[in-house]
Amino acid sequence: MKKKYTFIDLFAGAGGLSLGLEQAGFTPCFVNEIVPEYCATYKANRDLPNERYFVGDINSLNEHFDEYAHHMKGATLVCGGPPCQGFSMANRQRILDDPRNQLYKAYLTFLSKVRPKFFIMENVKGMANKIDEIRQNFREYLGDEYLFDFELFKAQDYGVPQNRERLIFIGNRMGIEPKEIFAEIHKNRRQAFVLRDALVGLPHLEAKAEKGKTDIENEQSGFTERNFVYVDNEFYHFINGDRTISKLYNHKNRYNNPRDIEIFRRLPQGANSLHKSIADIMPYKSRNDIFKDKYFKLSEEQICKTITAHMRFDCNMYIHPWESRGLSPREAARIQTFPDDYVFTGSQNSWYAQIGNAVPVKLAQAIGMGVMKFLK
C-alpha cells in the first residue's frame, strides 16, 4: 500500500500553498482559515469532509485543540503563513510581545502541540530582519528538536510569470540539514514564462456597461463559467498537466468609467501615470509623485508585477497589455499558476483577494517536491 503523507494547512486562504503541496504528493488532512468565503473556495475544489475544516481564529483552534486532534494524528507536515505586521527594523519590541503578532505566536503554539516531522512557514521578506529573534522563538516553543532555516524565494525562478518574493522557513525533526532541503528544492528551477504566455488565447473582454450590476454576465464583460477551448501550449501544460479542460471560470471584467478606459487605451506597455500620453486626462496631476503607479500598463514580454489582494479595489495598476481593461480574476489566477479548472467562489472582488493572497501554486509544488525527497 502506498504511504500517505498528510499535511495541515493553517491560514489556508483559497488553497494555493495546499494545491502545490498536493501536486507534490501530499494530502491535506486538516485546514484552518478564518474567512468563510475563502474557505468555501478551498472546499469547492476538494473532497475533504467538513469535519476536517476549522473555520475561525487559530487562537480558538488552539484553545479547542483536543476536540480536533484526532483529525491531525500522524500529520507529516504543517504549513502556513501567519500574517505578521510587527517586525520593522525600528521596532524594538520582541516579536512575541507585539500584539500585532498574535497569529505568529499562535502558529508556534500549534506547532508545539502537533510536532510534525516537517513544517513550512512562508512570509514577507522583511521577516528576515528579525531572524535571530525568530530562532529564539522557535527554541522557546519547540526546544532543540527541530533544525530549521530560511531562504528568500523568487517565484519566477520556478516558472511563475510573476515578480514575487517570499521568505520560506523549513524545519524538521528528522535530523536533516535545512540547506540540503533547499538544495533539493533548487533542482526544480526553470525559466519563467512571460505575461503573454499566461494571457494568450483567453477571450476578449470589455468594461461592464453599468456600475453596480454584479449579476450581469455577457460576451462583452465575461462570465463566471462558460464552455471554452484553451490554446494548447507549453504554459497550458505547465499549469494543467495533460488534462483537457473545457470550461473557463472567473473570467469577468468589472465596471470602469470612460476616463479610465481611455487611459487604459492610450498608455503604452510598461508605462505608468506619468506618461505623456495621458497628461491631459490624468486625474492626479497635482500629486504625481505619490500616484505615479496609480495606473500601470503591464508588458507582455516581461513577467508580471506582483499579484496582490489590492486588485479587489481596482486593477488600474494591472492594465492588460493589449486590451483596454484590467486583468480578469482568471488571468490573475493563471499568473499565480492555478490550474484552469480551479474555481473561485464568492463575489468577484473576493476572487481577486483570494488570488492575490495565495502562494503561487508552482512555487509551492517545487517546495513540496524538495521536502518529499527526504520522506521517500
pLDDT, average across residues 56-77? 96
pLDDT at 153 (0 to 100): 97
Could you tell me if residue 40 is inside a domain? Answer: yes
Distance separating alpha carbons of residues 103 and 348, to the nearest angstrom: 27
Closest CA to 141 of 71, 86, 78: 78
Domain holding 11, by residue range, is: 5-192+359-375
Phi, psi dihedral angles at 14 (to 5 degrees):
-80, -10
Residue 175 sits in a domain whose CATH number is: 3.40.50.150
User: How far is it, in rounded angstroms, from Cα 56 to Cα 31?
Assistant: 10
The span from the CA of 80 to the CA of 13, in Å, is 10
Helix intervals (H) in 73-145: 102-114, 131-142
Question: Residue 304 catalytic?
Answer: no
Query: Which tens digits make up the pLDDT trace of 196-217?
Result: 999 999 999 998 878 877 778 9
With CA atoms as reference, report the closest residue to 42 among 346, 328, 306: 346
Residue 46 lies in a domain: yes
How large a percentage of the chain has pLDDT more than 70?
94
Q: pLDDT value at position 99?
A: 66
Q: In this predicted structure, what is the pLDDT of residue 130?
A: 83
Least confident of 256-265, 277-286, 329-338: 277-286
> E-assigned strands of 187-242?
222-227
pLDDT at 105 over 60: yes
DSSP 227-283: E-----SHHHHHHHTT----EEEEEE--B--HHHHHHHHHPPTT-BTT-GGGTTT-T
Please indicate, yes or no, if residue 293 is contained in any of the structural domains: no
Q: One of 79, 84, 304, 315 is an active-site residue; which one?
A: 84
Return the higher-pLDDT residue of 300 and 291: 300
pLDDT over 70 at 290, yes or no: no
Rounded to the nearest integer, the mean pLDDT of the chain is: 93
- Closest to 251 measured CA to CA, from 223, 219, 210, 216: 223
Partner residues linked to 300 by β-bridges: none
Q: Please state the pTM of the whole predicted model.
A: 0.94
Decide if 68 is inside a domain.
Answer: yes
Q: Is residue 367 included in any domain, yes or no?
A: yes
Collapsing DSSP to helix, strand or coil, 67 comes out as helix
pLDDT, position 124: 86
Q: Would residue 141 count as lying in a domain?
A: yes
Confirm whether 353 is domain-assigned: no
Asked whether residue 286 is domain-assigned, the answer is no
The tally of domains found in the chain comes to: 1
Distance of CA 240 to the CA centre of its chain: 17
Q: Within 10 Å of residue 21's Cβ, how many Cβ atoms? A: 28
Rg of the chain over CA atoms, in angstroms? 21
What is the pLDDT, as a whole number, of residue 376? 84
Please give the Cα distance from 107 to 63 (Å, whole number): 13
Helix 102-114 / helix 65-72 crossing angle, nearest 10 deg: 60
